[in-house]
């Protein structure tokens, strides 16, 4: 375990380190941390890139916080039931209650190779004594913090979609949507990469109509205005799109909403808006899209499903093909998005049939 024999807290804090090691020992095997974070309980004169500098609610050093936030180090403020993490221009704010062991838990989750904002989310969900459970991993949703400073969710949320969305091909054209729906797939997404508005409107209109004819769930990626205008079943948006899309207009139109997530913090952020489903990814490396985060892997996917199953429909996405599909479904997720496993298959019909059979067995 890499917490041993290295500086985890600065100045050295033997009691915190002892608790961190005890927690880490109960979290299981995880890849070695890519960054060796040092949790600074006092601001160092020369902060380093892998320093996470903590200010508690008993301190008031706003000028120092601003200076340190610009130094390349991460800065964490914990005050009055609110914890704010700053990394460069990024800001992550969480509210809730936490245990006295939260800093030790933060060190343990950082050592499991989680990004600081996800490690912080898990640390705030940790409760003293959790290390004595058979499964110590935080899995009680009621203990997780809330993401702060978000705009209000649309009244009533978004329409529901089936909990088992099943095989979910993400396709580049209406031709592909029609072809795959004809093979018996009931959920698909049009991800049209074009800047030509007329082409986009035609492709969306054809895809939406194909879904209506076959009583299928067809989602439109990104282009929510055109999807609403065409009366689409649903739209799929990324985390960054939540800042710019008119979620109230989407909900008012009765269009379902799927949101991409890439870890615990983004899952909590997305759930605030009460979407129709969450996409969890990227599970594996993918070449179809530039991803903002490293691959999640099956171990993380399994933990995400454990936390959120039954709360919202979940879709695994990213680098999934026929070879790994059984392992993906073994996590308990009930839908998986695929791209090249369908669009680059030598025999599309055979590929779809094989993938569909995997879902029937799960």
191 marked ligand binding residue: yes
**Looking at the DSSP assignment, which residues form a beta bridge with residue 335?**
166
Asked if residue 199 has pLDDT above 80, the reply is yes
pLDDT class of 196 with cuts at 50, 70, 90: very high
pLDDT (0 to 100) of residue 64: 73
222 marked ligand binding residue: yes
pLDDT (0 to 100) of residue 290: 64
pLDDT (0 to 100) of residue 58: 61
190 marked ligand binding residue: yes
Asked if residue 173 has pLDDT above 80, the reply is yes
pLDDT (0 to 100) of residue 295: 93
The CATH class of 166-361 is alpha beta
146 marked ligand binding residue: no
pLDDT (0 to 100) of residue 177: 98
pLDDT tens-digit profile of 57-111? Answer: 665 567 777 778 778 899 999 988 999 999 988 999 999 999 999 999 999 999 9
189 marked ligand binding residue: yes
Percent of the chain with pLDDT over 70: 96
pLDDT class of 2 with cuts at 50, 70, 90: low
Task: Give the C-alpha separation, 124 to 148, whole Å.
Answer: 14
The overall average pLDDT reported for the chain is: 94
Helix/strand number for the chain, H first, E second = 13, 15
Q: Are 80 and 88 in contact (CB under 8 A)?
A: no
pLDDT (0 to 100) of residue 292: 65
pLDDT class of 195 with cuts at 50, 70, 90: confident
- C-alpha torsion 6→137→161→242, nearest 10: -30
86 marked ligand binding residue: no
* Strands annotated E in 81-238: 82-87, 90-95, 146-147, 166-171, 187-190, 217-221, 234-237
Task: Give the C-alpha separation, 130 to 124, whole Å.
Answer: 12
Q: Where are the domains of the chain?
A: 9-147, 166-361
318 marked ligand binding residue: no
288 marked ligand binding residue: yes
Nearest to 223, CA basis, from 214, 340, 202, 211? 202
Please give the distance of CA 301 from its chain centroid, rounded to a whole number.
Answer: 10
Task: Give the C-alpha separation, 106 to 118, whole Å.
Answer: 9
321 marked ligand binding residue: no
pLDDT (0 to 100) of residue 289: 66
361 marked ligand binding residue: no
241 marked ligand binding residue: yes
323 marked ligand binding residue: no
212 CB-near residues (< 8 Å, 6+ apart): none
Task: Give the C-alpha separation, 245 to 125, whole Å.
Answer: 30
**If you average pLDDT over residues 128-137, what whole number do you get?**
94
Residue 119, φ and ψ in degrees, nearest 5: -60, -40
Q: What is the pTM of this model?
A: 0.96
């Amino acid at each position: 375990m890499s917490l041993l024999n290295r500086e985890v807290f600065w100045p050295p804090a033997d009691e915190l380190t002892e608790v961190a090691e005890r927690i880490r020992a109960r979290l299981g095997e995880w890849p070695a941390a890519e960054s060796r974070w040092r949790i600074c309980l006092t601001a160092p004169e020369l902060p380093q890139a892998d320093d996470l500098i903590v200010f508690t609610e008993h301190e008031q050093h706003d000028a120092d916080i601003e200076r340190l936030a610009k130094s390349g180090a991460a800065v964490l403020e914990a005050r009055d039931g609110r914890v704010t993490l700053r990394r460069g221009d990024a800001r992550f704010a969480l509210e809730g209650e936490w245990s006295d062991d939260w800093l030790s838990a933060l060190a343990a989750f950082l050592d499991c190779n989680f990004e600081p904002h996800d490690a912080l989310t898990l640390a705030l969900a940790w409760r003293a004594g959790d290390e004595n459970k058979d499964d110590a991993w935080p899995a009680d949703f009621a203990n997780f913090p809330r993401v702060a400073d978000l705009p209000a969710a649309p009244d009533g949320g978004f329409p529901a979609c089936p909990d088992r969305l099943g095989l979910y091909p993400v396709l580049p054209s209406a031709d592909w949507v029609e072809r795959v729906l004809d093979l018996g797939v009931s959920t698909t997404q049009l991800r049209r990469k074009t800047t030509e508005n007329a082409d986009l409107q035609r492709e969306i209109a054809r895809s939406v109509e194909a879904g209506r004819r076959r009583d299928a769930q067809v989602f439109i990626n990104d282009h929510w205005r055109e999807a609403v205008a065409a009366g689409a079943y649903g739209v799929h948006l990324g985390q960054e799109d939540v800042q710019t899309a008119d979620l109230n207009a989407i909900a008012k139109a009765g269009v379902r909403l799927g949101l991409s997530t890439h870890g615990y913090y983004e899952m909590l952020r997305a759930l605030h808006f009460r979407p129709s489903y969450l996409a969890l990814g990227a599970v594996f490396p993918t070449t179809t899209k530039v991803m903002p985060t490293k691959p999640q892997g099956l171990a993380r996917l399994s933990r995400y499903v454990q936390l959120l199953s039954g709360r919202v429909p979940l879709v695994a996405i990213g680098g999934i093909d026929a070879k790994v599909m059984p392992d993906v479904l073994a996590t308990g997720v009930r839908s998986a998005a695929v791209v090249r496993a369908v669009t680059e298959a030598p025999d599309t019909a055979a590929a779809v049939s094989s993938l569909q059979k995997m879902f029937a067995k799960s």
